[in-house]
A and B are shown apart, each in its own frame.
Chain A
Amino acid sequence: QVQLVQSGAELKKPGASMNVSCKASGYTFSGHYIHWVRQAPGRGLEWMGWINPKNGATNYAQTFQGWVTMTRDMSMNTAYMEVTRLKSDDTAVYFCARDLGDGYNYDAFDIWGQGTLVTVSA
């Protein structure tokens, strides 16, 4: 079946970097944009950006420009997100999500990864 499976929980110290992976299966990986969304404790969902697996093009939310990098490995059908210079308020569950559009960016998310809890604490 169509699914996204993310890497496991991480505990990081302030100032460190984190890297979350998102492995796709059950569909053509190059055919759908992958978005990243996070949810901090007690907060709403927050969009971080997208990557087009077909050509590697990215688009980051203004809030995250300069400290988030999204990449993909076509041979592994896997998307990655690196966040640098972590702060305590980056503690959140990070989700990857597949865009509904087939070959284009529709900005609706029909398949989600299970989420990766990242805790930033000294």
Chain B
Amino acid sequence: QSVLTQPPSVSGAPGQTVTISCTGSSANIGAGYDVNWYQHLPGTAPKLLIYGNFNRPSGVPDRFSGSKSGSSASLAIAGLQADDEADYSCQSYDGTLSDVVFGGGTKLTVL
């Protein structure tokens, strides 16, 4: 059971926009801790997509955007491409646990 809750799967057609949610609590996202997002295939090294809620590392296309409101955060992927098909995980810090916490991951399928 992950501290941060993500939908198990989302899907969209090429060119569409999909949004992946990440729901936490007053102990983590709601407490003001930053949310980061990663893209990865099972068993392979994740890639940092978004840090500090909405910042993109250099080299990450602006099709990827992050937002945060209250105890939740979202990752939006615009102009879906076939190679966007991957798992996406959110990550934050939990002040009650004093641990870094991840969401369970969302599998994106490009139809």
Contacts and interface: CB of A to CB of B under 8 A. Distances in A.
Contacts of B84: none
Contact of B45 (A47, A63, A112): A112
Interface residues of B, number: 26
Contacts of A100: 48, 51
A117 interface: yes
Max chain A Cβ within 10 angstroms of own Cβ: one of B51, B93, B99: B99
A93 interface: yes
Interface residues of A, number: 25
Interface of B: 2, 34, 36, 38, 42-48, 51-52, 57, 89, 91, 93, 97-105
B49 to A, nearest CB: 11
Contacts of B34: 107-108
A112 B100 contact: no
B100 A44 contact: no
Interface in A88-122: 93, 95, 97, 100, 106-110, 112-115, 117
B44 A115 contact: yes
